Chains A and B, each alone.
Chain A
Amino acid sequence: MNIALAVLYAGVISVDRFAAFNLMLSRPIVISFVLGLLFGNTIECFYVGIIFEAIGLVDVPFGTRIPKEDSFGAFAACCLLTLLPCDHLPQYILIFLLVLLMMYPVTMTLHITRSFNKALYVRQQKRGRIYPLRLLMLGMGFSFLRGVVFYSLGTYLVLQIYYLIHGHIDYHLNFYLFCLMIFVFLTGYILRFLSARTYFKYAVFMLGLLTGWVIL
């Protein structure tokens, strides 16, 4: 039941991401909260969410460009952490790497969506009459299907590849420390991305660090 809900949610993510609403139901951190609550592993999903969100914060959909599918990354990684019996760091790393790799073909499906939309538009244009509502409905439907099919397929493929190549190293390492180190690295990217006077920005960041340290 939970998996069926997750698959439907994949469709909603795909629609929200580019086709309609833009209510941010497709942000990795939101996906990780939703899937964490759905599958009951909120902490692990949270750490996955912050890593993929960091990618999306820097790789943004400015103008006509298509950013990498950070939403798929968070979706697949959260699902796999639930489906797979991971308790060793090498397994986590393998999952992360496979999901990152799979993000590229899933991003390609966004190009397919745009080509599909273009074909529909050009066909009507050539006939001399355009029905905008029909085109929008078809675009939304295709986008929903894209999410349901490709997010699920991508996650399933990663699962199968993982079973094929996962290692047998049996070291119990700290998943949270691993995620923390990765996220701290990505924070460096985000800090450079934020726009404000350089020294002022870093001073405020340091102030935040100190405040967090003292208060929390």
Chain B
Amino acid sequence: MKSLIVGFFSLFYQANMNHENMQGTGFAFLIRKAAALNGISLEVKKVFEQTAYFHTHPYLVNFIAGVWVKEFEQNGEEDFYKKTYSSAFGAFGDSFFWHSLRPLSFVIAAIAGLYNPWLGLAAYLVFYNSFHLIFRFSGYSIGYALGKEVIVFFNRIGFNRWPMYFDVASAFFFGILLSYLAKSCSDFDSVVLGILTVYVLTGMALAKKLDIVLGLVIIMILTGFFLFITGA
């Protein structure tokens, strides 16, 4: 139950994000709530200290809250592990949720959405948030149970490998999506197939060299001009 409550409060903890203390304000708010649930009333000074610079992945912050409360109860090094885990969970979260889960959720939703927009919408929100909410709502109890050794949990589930598996799945589903989009295009023929191949290869060649928005602007103008000339 405590984990669910902390999970709920963590939904709002980023609202004061800024370059001075990043999510520090939110962490102070969260930790005060979490400590109160464990019967600890934090001093004003201690809460004030928690507003200092802090930044991690928003879905994994509750693990840190759990570790912090456990260490605090045991007179351990709560602020030391807070800093260490904020970096580590930033790395984990960015790699999995931002880098890998979003493309896979998108491609699944896009395939589903081609059949029915409601299905696409539901597919994205359910698929993505099932991972997001599980981590968010179970984080506090796992962090509290394992304390400073919470990293063991992530090693046990092989979390650093998940992005790779999800990226491979995304590559496969992107293939399916492109095939479907191409086949469902009324003007599709061997010339269009050739052009699409050139387009994907051009995208691959320019990626990491040219900003995506600039690349997009250039390709839009060229494509418009190309379609205008060919009358497609």
Contact = CB atoms under 8 A, between A and B. Distances in A.
6 contacts: A53-B106, A64-B22, A121-B21, A173-B227, A184-B199, A208-B174
Contacts of B51: 121, 125, 130, 132
B92 to A, nearest CB: 12
A130 B117 CA distance: 45
B16 A117 contact: yes
Contacts of A55: 212-213, 216
A186 B204 contact: no
The 9 closest A-B CB pairs, nearest first, are A188-B203, A208-B175, A212-B179, A139-B15, A132-B29, A118-B18, A212-B176, A192-B207, A117-B18
B17 A191 contact: no
Contacts of A216: 176, 179-180, 183
A62 interface: yes
A20 B14 contact: yes
B204 A191 contact: yes
Contact of A22 (B16, B132, B207, B223): B132
A46 B199 contact: no
A20 B17 CA distance: 10
Interface stretch (A2-10, A24-32, A150-158): A24-32
Chain B binding surface, main DSSP class: helix
A34 interface: yes
Nearest to B128: A24
A42 B121 CA distance: 11
Interface string A183-216: 1111111111111100011101111111111011
A66 to B, nearest CB: 10
A63 B55 contact: yes
B34 to A, nearest CB: 13
B70 interface: no
A34 B109 CA distance: 13
Contact of A139 (B16, B28, B171, B217): B16
Nearest to A214: B179
Given A177-B192, A209-B178, A130 B18 contact: no
B177 A212 contact: yes
A180 B182 contact: yes
Interface in A134-150: 135-140, 143
Given A60-B102, A184-B199, A208-B178, 18 more contacts: A22-B58, A25-B125, A33-B113, A57-B102, A59-B213, A64-B55, A68-B213, A100-B217, A117-B15, A120-B16, A129-B44, A130-B28, A185-B200, A189-B204, A208-B174, A211-B176, A212-B175, A216-B176
Nearest to A137: B15
A96 B219 CA distance: 12
B167 A196 contact: yes
A183 B181 contact: yes
B168 A190 contact: no
A103 interface: yes
A195 B185 contact: no
Contacts of A178: 223-224, 227
B232 A174 contact: yes
Which of A33, A34, A100 has the largest number of chain B CB atoms within 10 A? Answer: A33
Contacts of A169: 228
B81 interface: no
Nearest to A171: B228
A200 B58 CA distance: 32
A21 interface: yes
Contact of A61 (B98, B121, B170, B192): B98
